[in-house]
Every structure is written in structure tokens, then in C-alpha cells.
Structure 1
Amino acid sequence: MMGMDGGGSSVQCSALAVAAAVAVMAICSYLAVTRGGGGGDRQKRRRRPPLVGTVFHQLYHVRRLHDYHTALSRQHETFRLLSPGRRAHIYTCDPAVVEHILKTNFANYGKGPFNYEKLSDLFGEGIFAVDGDKWRQQRKTASYDFSTRSLRDFSGAVFKRNAAKLAGVVSSHAASNQSMDLQALLTRATMDSIFTIAFGQDLNTLDDGAGEGRRFAASFDDASEITLLRYVNPFWKLAKLLNVGAEAMLKERMKVVDGFVYKLIRARSEELSTSSKAHKPGSRQDIMSRFIQATTNDSGTVNYKYLRDIILNIVIAGKDSTAGSLAWFLYMACKHPEVQEKICREVRHATNADETASADKFAQSITDEALNKMHYLHAALTETLRLYPSVPLDDKQCFSDDVLPNGFNVSKGDAVFYIPYAMGRMQSLWGKDAEAFRPERWLDTNGVFRPESPFKFTAFQAGPRICLGKDFAYKQMKIFAAVLLRFFVFKLRDEKSSVSYRTTITLSIDQGLHLTATAR
């Protein structure tokens, strides 16, 4: 699609244009509230978080949104931004508040209409956008599938195959002394992995960078960015109604995303309906086949929209979060070369593989037992997620009036955001070296990985909604990292450069990760 690769920059420019247009309105609305009276006795009885600005300020800072939130969080552990209407936007880095909304008072906080209206174009009725029975049903089915040994073995084999394939691509760049955008390669490799696991077929995007799968990935990345902008642009509904700007772009991008996914679902449904394998439970290991067989009614009718929503949510989680995390991990490994060497030594010791083994044979030697011995690699990946969480900002809507553990009142309809990106940078949580990349903070005196409270380290959520794919994500990341650092030494193309993030739902490196590789 024309202009696909440039979609991100056009979205950001559009956001900045809107920010300029509302700057005066932001100041006026802020002064009107902070200087105005009112509130009466009811306001005096209710203790609200400190008001530090308006949602318009987020739009102004959209390109550095998460750092803006971090700066505010260092002043106030819990704060409030003024938004149009009566609904408050509350932000927190307080682990006690996070535990309250994600676990202790779980039933009172959910996605709610506040999130659903923003997410449904992309996520539909999938697990990331719904509450209640819809969420419980999908959670139960997915939880069963993710716990089966057959799916774990199937996914492990897929991860190893694609890690070895990626190593082959990197090797060709190393041989010709060419730099590469490793984030783009990781995105293609993880897409190949999750699509094989979810749909039972390999897109081979590593072999064909301009194919249908590539167009799908680019369309989804743009759709993700525009979806996040809805949280900071109070005029997005008007833009959607008029079909202009970023909302018009979202509509076009979703045509590509939906067309691609529906095509795959229909093909598999037809295959299962005409194949004898459809009557042999477990004959197909991919997730989509399992869901089709579990949800097809007695008349043979398949709910394509329901399957689209479920599978697309799984694909989104498996592709973007893992690729982004691996990219940030390798960026930090380039900034800290000693980390690469420590991991290489640990991987060699854990696998005990032949030094002359090819990437493919080495990948096959990475057993579950070997992975469990890679404590330093696990710590380095976790330290990366502490500083660069896959989902840097998440929220829940309050369903009825509540009081948070810190004494602040929350009203029905308020949105309570917790900020994994900012939480990872709080000295109050991690000490004076909170912003330093130090994997050792996750290891005990024996070098064994030591987890932290999920309400302090929130990269995978916590409570009943804790990420079902957490173990799968670590497994894929460790396999890919082990293969890459066993065979290559990576350096930034420009060692003096620093990178920034693209403001999307998941945290990715803006403009890619450009590295050079040298064979070990």
C-alpha cells in the first residue's frame, strides 16, 4: 500500500498539529478549574489526587508521552489530569494502588466503555477489550490451550526454527559487513512464529519482506499508534465521524488487517470442514484450529468475527510485545558489551553444545532444562522489561465509587492508569540506580533469578488478568537471544547515537534498531 511505511510519521505530525490548535484551550481550561470555586461540602469531604495539568498537555507531549508521565510521577506518585466532562483521569506509580485495582478490588475495575470505545476498532470483542462473561470465556479457553504440553512443545519447535532462520539472515549481513534494522527482522521473525502457532502456517516474512504479511504488520503498527492517540486526543470521535486525519487512516489500515485475518480464518475453516482431521481432536496444534473446533455450532456455522477478535488479540500479543522487547534488549546489550559476553558464556555452559554446531543444530540443543539454567539471560531480559515494558501505559475504569489505599477517592466512570514505564524509573521503588541497566539486581547471592512483586514489576500485568503468555514470551525471547548472542557480537551502527520510542500501544524503537554484527 502506498505510503504504508511512512504512516507513523504522518500520524505524529497530525497529532502535533492538533496539539498546536488546542494549546490555548488547554491553558484556559486548566486555569478555569484551578482558579474556579465551587465544589461545596461534597468536594471538601472527598480527597482527590493532585491536579497537575490537562489531557491536552499529553497531546502536546505525545512524542515523549511516557517520559512526560515519568516526570509528573516523580513529583506525585498519584496524580490527576483534567479531561472534558466529569470523568477524571488518575495516574499512579504506587504498587499498593496497582494491587488494589488489579487484584484486591478487581471486580470494581475493568476495561469498561471508556476503553472499549477506543480499542474495539482494533481489538474487537477480544480479550484485551472486554470484561465480564466475554472475558472469562476467552480467558478460560486460552488458559487451557496455553497450559497443554502439545502447544508448549509445538511453540518451542517453532521458536527454535525461526531463531535459526534469523541467525542465517544476520549472518549474511555480517559476512558483507552491512548494517541491518534488527528490530524489523525481529518483527518479521516473531510474526512468522506467532502466525505458525496461531494459524498453523508460516508467512515466511523473513524471506519476503514485501509480501502480504509485511503489509499486515505495517498496517497494524499504524493502527496501534492511532489507537493510543485516542487516549490523548479528546477530539478523536469527531475526527472519526468526519472520517478525517488519523481516524481516516485507521479505517484504511483496518481494512488491510481485517482482510488478511479473515482470509486465513476462512481458509482454515474450509480445510477443517472438509478434512477428516476435523474429527480428530488434537490433530492440529495451532490455536485457530482449536478455537474453530471449540466454537463451531451443531449446524457447522463458524462465527468469523468472534474468531477474528480472539486470534488477532493473540497475534498482537505474540508479535509486537516480543519483537519490541528483544529489540530493546539488544539495544541495551550494545550499550553494555559486557552483558553480551556474560550471556554468551552462560548459554554455552547451559547447552553444552558442540562449538562447531550450526545455528540450526545449536537451536535444537536449547532444551527446557537448558533454558532454566540461563538465570543471567532471564535477568537481563527482565531488566530490559523493567525499563522498556511492552505495554508502557495501562488503565482500568472504575465501576463504582471507591477509595484507593493511599486515601484518594475515585468516582464511578473515572479511569485509573498505572504506568509500567514510569514505575521502572522510580527511585522509590528501585533505588538510586533506578535508571541504570543492571541485570544483577534480579539475582541472589548464588546467581539465581529472584522475582519481584508483580505489582511493582508490572510488565505482565498482575492479578486475574496477568498475561497468559508470560512463559511463552520468556521462552521465545530466551531462545532468540541465546542463538543470536552465541553466534554474533552486536554493535550500534552509530555507537554515539541514542534511540527513542514510537508512541504506540506497545513500546517499539522509533525508526528501527540499526546494528552491525560480527561472527564469533
Structure 2
Amino acid sequence: MESETLFFLLLSFSLPLLMILFFNKKPKPKTKTQAPSPCSYPLIGNLIALLKNHHRFLDWVSDMLSQTPSNTLQVSSFLSTSHIICTANPLNVEHLLRSNFPNYIKGDRFQSVLSELLGDGIFNADGEIWAHQRKIASHEFNTRSLKSFVSYTVRSEISHRLIPTLEKAADSEEIIDFQDVFRKFAFDNVCNLAFGEDPCCLEGADTQFIRAFDEAVEICSKRLLAPVPWIWKMKRKLNLGDERRLKIAIGKINDYATKIISARDEEAANSTGKQDLLSRFMSSNENSEMGDGEKRRKFLRDIIISFILAGKDSTSTALTWFFWLLWANPRCERLIYAEISKAAGEGELNFQYDELKEMHYLHAAISEALRLFPPVPINSRLTLKDDVLPDGNFVGAGWFADYCAYAMARMEKVWGPDCNEFRPERWLENGVFIPADQFRFPVFHAGSRLCLGKEMAYVQMKAVAASVIYGFEIEEVVGGCRHRPPPYSLALTLKMKGGLHVRLKKRTSFL
């Protein structure tokens, strides 16, 4: 641990602990009518309970929510600087994201944490800035040409990068980390889509942009999960430790983005425009008001970096949990393989969009994996005005209103008594995939902030899953247990702690 970090931690804990000893005040015992909540102490609020359960934070929250009458609870933060209401009730989620959407914004909590990395990008903005970017992105994401470009890029990355990498590992009986492979694959893919540039990460390339981006995401994740936020804010002010490294990493990201934007401007002037997202945003009529200066470059940089963040970690995380669930449920894997084989016929699967669309069981299995292990397990909003949720809970102005997709998946009131089981059949009706209500399944968010790339994400995940399942089988998960999920590590996304280390072999049959 860095010396300055240790100093700030000791400083932050000494005063509250002395106050506890001085007052010797114990939390009041709960009555039978009280909703469960973490133990709260003078000054430090629920910090002790948070530190005690940090390794199983989402399960801890899920346990408490499941015991409340409406799957909603209230807590106070460190030094009681803020109040938080957390819910796993679909009616409340609909209220936050649609019915009273203007009252619940991203706010300073996320914007301050991610400001250097995402700037005013679509995933970090509110109000007019968000609405403007959403309008442009919505138009571009609904064009047939972009969908074709996405489909082509994914197929190319799979056939030229992913499959050869897995074949090499299978032939040599090498143990590989699926999570790392999918992370590198997703990075290459999303950079092609966003910038029209191929970082060749899966082939072992190690560029400054890749390292800087990963380091910036890691440090921002630590910020978001810090129980005492003023520590990282003080380190930022003093330019110490992680905050100094973040500043350097952001400088490298900005330099790379600036070079790419300049190159696209030159190509556009020579009528050699590309199909990537950056080129599309640059040529959009909606961007005419941005002019040609620094404001325009910052706008383009922010929105593209946002899409890289969303496309890289969310997809790789989802695929990692999906393949562990298949390994733990071989019956489901057999059904998916039968569906893929039928589509492939005598030849090899060519991953055309229409063929992927007809794979209903695969779609259901991926959705079920997303339900149990959502890439973004918990989302937070800042309340502008006093409000009352549909379940009767009061939310004060300035409170944080969180909804937990991870917990929702484990609520019997939401998904039934088999909510903890991996059962793709819950998504099917007569063999056809039936989508769940978006507020019951807010994995891609919902309402006005519903993910624009949802369809493209499914295309990518289905294409990867189909190619891997058709060509390979997991012979061994190192240290794995079919009856107990691997531990997770909380960051901006729900990563599998330590990765998913597997030994593959080429599939010859499914016996």
C-alpha cells in the first residue's frame, strides 16, 4: 500500500473510532417491524458493515433487500454525508427511469469520479448535453449501414483473431484465461467500431493507448468504490499516487484520440471517409453547431471514449459468466450446440445476422446469464426534489437512489422461487424467445436511457458464443466448482475475480 494512502486511511478512521469509544453507543436492536439495514454507528454510519461485507457486497445487499416488504431499503453513508435508498422493485425502477425520469439524474457522484475519463460523454452527462448526444447516437445506431458494419467487423475479428487464438491453445493444451481473451477481443472489436483502428490486442500488441485506458478504468473503479471519497479527492489535489498515474494515463488517451480525430478530418477532406462511429458522428448534420475548434474535438473524444468503455468491459464480462454457467450446466450447452449445428448444416457457421436471430435458445441462455450476472450490477441516480416511490418509500432531495439489477435477479417476488437457478427456458414460449419487461430486467438500463447498442451487443455475444461452442468444449475449469459461482470483484463492471482459467479441446462430437 502506498504510504500516502495509508496515511489518509489512518487519518480517516482514527477520529470516528475514537468517537465510538467515547460515546460507547451501540446500535439499537431491530424490532420485528423494522426493515433490515446495515448497522449504523455515530459519524461512520454503515462503514463497518460495508468493510466487513465488501468481498460479497452485492450478495449482502441482495440479502437485505429480499427481507424487506417491498425490496427497498435506506442506509446512511460515512459521516452521514448522504442518504441512499436502494431498490430491487421493478415498479420503483420504472419510476426512476421513466415515470419521474427528470427528477433522477447522474449527478456529481458519477460525474466527479469519471470526469477525466469520460468527460461529458453520453454515459456521464445529464440535461441538454445528454439529450444532444442521445439524439445523434440514436440516429446512427438505427442505420442499416452501421448494423452491417458491426456484423462484418465482429465476424472478421472472430474468424481472423479469436478462433486462431483458441485453436492454438487447444492444440498445445495450454490453460488460458477466458476473461482475458474476451477482454482483448472486445477491445480490438470496439476500437474498430468506434475509431476504425485495430489495436491488435488479442495478438499481443501492447500500445500506450491500451495500457493507459485499462489503468484509467481501474483507478476510476477504485474511486467509485472508495468508502471515504475525500481521500482520493485529496490525493488528486496533491497529485499523489493513483491520482498522479490517472492524470498521466488520461494524457495518453487524449493524445491518441486527438491523432485519430485529426486523421479522420483529413480523410473526410479527401473523400475517403470510413464507416466507424467516429466518422459517422463527425459527418452528422447534428454536429454542425460544434464548429471546427476545441469544443468539437472534445465532444467527439468524449462520446467515442464512452462507447469504448461500454463495449469493451461489459461484453467481455458477460461472456465470461456465460461460459462458466454453460460449464456448470452441460444440459443447456447440449441444447445450444444442437441449435447451432442445425443452423450450420453441413458447412461452417457463417454468423450472418439472420441466422443468429433464429437462435432462440442461445439468445435465452445469454439473457439468463445477463440476468444472474449483469455487467453493471448496480446503478445510481441523484434525486433533485423530494419524492415518494410507488412502494411508499420517501426519497429526499439530494439522496442517492440506486437500483440493483444483481439483486433483482435474486428476488422471488420478481422471478419466482427458482430465481437463483440458471434456466434459459424461462425466456421461451413454444421455443420462441420472449423479452422480459425492461424494468424487470434493467441490464441494458431502461426508459429514456435504454442502451442504444443493446441489439449490437446481442449480435456480438451470440456470434462469439456460437463460434466457440461449435468449435470447442471446455475440458477443465481450473479450480472451478459447478455448484458454486466463482467470486466476483467489483469495479465499473462485475468481473470474475482472478479470471476464468480453462483448458479447451476441439469439439468432435457432443457425446
Confirm or deny a common fold (TM above 0.5).
yes
The 8 Å contact of residues 215 and 256 in structure 1, kept in 2 or not, is answered as no
Q: Tell me whether 1:508 sits opposite 2:495 in the alignment.
A: yes
2:258 maps to what in 1?
A: 262
The 8 Å contact of residues 97 and 404 in structure 1, kept in 2 or not, is answered as yes
CA pair 435-246 structure 1, distance change in 2 beyond 3 A: farther
| Alpha-carbon displacement from aligned partner over 1:330-352 (angstroms, at most 9, x marks no partner) | 11111122222221110121243
CA distance in 1, matches of 2:35, 2:26: 14
The 8 Å contact of residues 114 and 220 in structure 2, kept in 1 or not, is answered as no
Q: Tell me whether 1:518 sits opposite 2:505 in the alignment.
A: yes
CA pair 514-51 structure 1, distance change in 2 beyond 3 A: closer
1:81 maps to what in 2?
A: 75
| Alpha-carbon displacement from aligned partner over 1:194-246 (angstroms, at most 9, x marks no partner) | 11111112221111243345414532441342242247645432333233454
* SS at structure 2 position matched to 1:436: coil
The 8 Å contact of residues 371 and 478 in structure 1, kept in 2 or not, is answered as yes
Aligned 1:224-373 pairs, distance under 5 A: 224-230=220-226, 233=229, 235-273=231-269, 275-277=270-272, 283-294=273-284, 295=287, 300-301=292-293, 303-354=296-347, 357=348, 362=349, 365-373=350-358
CA distance in 1, matches of 2:96, 2:475: 42
The 8 Å contact of residues 59 and 232 in structure 1, kept in 2 or not, is answered as no
* SS at structure 2 position matched to 1:206: helix
2:102 maps to what in 1?
A: 107
CA distance in 1, matches of 2:227, 2:369: 25
CA distance in 2, matches of 1:233, 1:33: 25
Which residue type is aligned with residue 450 of structure 1? I
Which residue type is aligned with residue 457 of structure 2? A
Q: Find 1:392's aligned residue among 358, 377, 396.
A: 377
Q: Find 1:405's aligned residue among 380, 390, 408.
A: 390
CA distance in 2, matches of 1:251, 1:300: 26
1:45 maps to what in 2?
A: none
The 8 Å contact of residues 8 and 231 in structure 2, kept in 1 or not, is answered as no
CA pair 305-298 structure 1, distance change in 2 beyond 3 A: closer
CA distance in 2, matches of 1:188, 1:132: 34
1:437 maps to what in 2?
A: 422
Q: Find 1:460's aligned residue among 440, 444, 459.
A: 444
The 8 Å contact of residues 179 and 517 in structure 1, kept in 2 or not, is answered as yes
1:420 maps to what in 2?
A: 405
2:166 maps to what in 1?
A: 170
The 8 Å contact of residues 489 and 519 in structure 1, kept in 2 or not, is answered as yes
Structure 1 residue 397: Cα displacement: 0.9
The 8 Å contact of residues 106 and 382 in structure 2, kept in 1 or not, is answered as yes
The 8 Å contact of residues 183 and 323 in structure 1, kept in 2 or not, is answered as yes
CA pair 438-22 structure 1, distance change in 2 beyond 3 A: farther
Structure 1 residue 409: Cα displacement: 1.2
1:4 maps to what in 2?
A: none
CA pair 74-21 structure 1, distance change in 2 beyond 3 A: farther
| Alpha-carbon displacement from aligned partner over 1:70-115 (angstroms, at most 9, x marks no partner) | 2222233211221235531111111111111111111111112333
CA pair 501-486 structure 1, distance change in 2 beyond 3 A: same
Q: Tell me whether 1:477 sits opposite 2:461 in the alignment.
A: yes
CA distance in 1, matches of 2:35, 2:375: 27
Backbone CA RMSD of aligned residues: 2.9
Which residue type is aligned with residue 207 of structure 2? G
Give the TM-score taking structure 2 as reference length: 0.87
Give ranges in structure 2 of 5+ residues lacking alignment: 29-33
| Alpha-carbon displacement from aligned partner over 1:53-72 (angstroms, at most 9, x marks no partner) | 43523345333322222222
Aligned pair count?
483
Which 4+ stretches in 1 moved above 6 angstroms?
Answer: 13-17, 29-33
CA pair 257-331 structure 1, distance change in 2 beyond 3 A: farther
Which residue type is aligned with residue 491 of structure 2? T
2:31 maps to what in 1?
A: none
CA pair 81-167 structure 1, distance change in 2 beyond 3 A: same
Give the TM-score taking structure 1 as reference length: 0.85
Structure 1 residue 488: Cα displacement: 0.4
The 8 Å contact of residues 59 and 233 in structure 1, kept in 2 or not, is answered as no
CA distance in 2, matches of 1:468, 1:31: 52
The 8 Å contact of residues 36 and 67 in structure 2, kept in 1 or not, is answered as no
* SS at structure 1 position matched to 2:191: helix
CA distance in 2, matches of 1:514, 1:235: 35
Which residue type is aligned with residue 63 of structure 2? A
Which residue type is aligned with residue 82 of structure 1? S
The 8 Å contact of residues 12 and 228 in structure 2, kept in 1 or not, is answered as no
* SS at structure 2 position matched to 1:80: strand
| Alpha-carbon displacement from aligned partner over 1:319-368 (angstroms, at most 9, x marks no partner) | 110111011111111112222222111012124351xx4xxxx3xx2222
1:154 maps to what in 2?
A: 149
Q: Tell me whether 1:117 sits opposite 2:112 in the alignment.
A: yes
Which residue type is aligned with residue 269 of structure 1? D
The 8 Å contact of residues 198 and 286 in structure 1, kept in 2 or not, is answered as yes
CA pair 500-50 structure 1, distance change in 2 beyond 3 A: closer
CA distance in 2, matches of 1:21, 1:506: 27
Once the two structures are overlaid, the 10-residue window that deviates more, 114-123 or 414-423, is 114-123
CA distance in 1, matches of 2:200, 2:10: 40
CA pair 300-225 structure 1, distance change in 2 beyond 3 A: closer
* SS at structure 1 position matched to 2:93: helix
| Alpha-carbon displacement from aligned partner over 1:289-318 (angstroms, at most 9, x marks no partner) | 122233366964352221111101111111
CA distance in 2, matches of 1:81, 1:517: 45
The 8 Å contact of residues 480 and 486 in structure 2, kept in 1 or not, is answered as no
The 8 Å contact of residues 223 and 232 in structure 2, kept in 1 or not, is answered as no
Which residue type is aligned with residue 292 of structure 1? M
CA distance in 2, matches of 1:15, 1:348: 56
CA distance in 1, matches of 2:119, 2:290: 25
Which residue type is aligned with residue 61 of structure 1? N
Q: Tell me whether 1:449 sits opposite 2:433 in the alignment.
A: yes
2:134 maps to what in 1?
A: 139
2:55 maps to what in 1?
A: 63
Which residue type is aligned with residue 208 of structure 1? G
CA pair 468-353 structure 1, distance change in 2 beyond 3 A: farther
Which residue type is aligned with residue 512 of structure 1? G
Structure 1 residue 120: Cα displacement: 1.4
Once the two structures are overlaid, the 10-residue window that deviates more, 232-241 or 326-335, is 232-241
Structure 1 residue 256: Cα displacement: 3.8
CA pair 237-21 structure 1, distance change in 2 beyond 3 A: closer
Structure 1 residue 449: Cα displacement: 1.1
Q: Percent identity?
A: 34
CA distance in 1, matches of 2:10, 2:310: 30
CA pair 181-213 structure 1, distance change in 2 beyond 3 A: farther
CA distance in 2, matches of 1:298, 1:410: 38
